[in-house]
Amino acid sequence: MSRECQATRNKRFCTCTYEMCPRKGRCCECVIYHRQIGEIPACFFTRVAEKTYDRTVRNFIDTQHKPESDIEKK
Up-side HSE of residue 5: CA atoms within 13 Å toward CB? 11
**Residue 5 confidence (pLDDT):** 87
11-34: pLDDT as tens digits: 998 999 998 999 999 999 999 999
**Residue 40 confidence (pLDDT):** 96
**Residue 56, strand partner residues:** 39
pTM of the model: 0.77
Up-side HSE of residue 3: CA atoms within 13 Å toward CB? 0
Given a cut of 60, whether residue 49 has pLDDT beyond it is yes
| Residue 3's pLDDT band (cuts 50, 70, 90) | confident
